[in-house]
Amino acid sequence: MDLTIAWAIQAVARLGGYLSHRRKSNIGITVLWRGFLELQSLCEGWQLRSPG
């Protein structure tokens, strides 16, 4: 798997609720923002879980 910017944008969009089977619609800023907030929440939870 190549880790590219396009892959990262799609991954964040999926966290924001983007449905990849709807290829007709572009990834919007609202979906990216929701995905970023979800990613931030997941990272904070991971940090809280980690010892020390």
The pLDDT value recorded for residue 51 is 76
- Say what the pTM is: 0.80
Domain that holds residue 9: 5-49
The pLDDT tens digits for 2-35 are 899 999 999 999 999 998 776 678 899 999 999 9
The pLDDT value recorded for residue 22 is 66
Query: What CA–CA distance (Å, rounded) separates 3 from 47?
Result: 23
The pLDDT tens digits for 30-50 are 999 999 999 999 999 999 986
Number of domains in the chain: 1
The pLDDT value recorded for residue 52 is 63
The pLDDT value recorded for residue 21 is 75
Residue type (1 letter), 27: I
DSSP the chain: ----HHHHHHHHHHHTT--TT-TTSPPPHHHHHHHHHHHHHHHHHHHHHS--
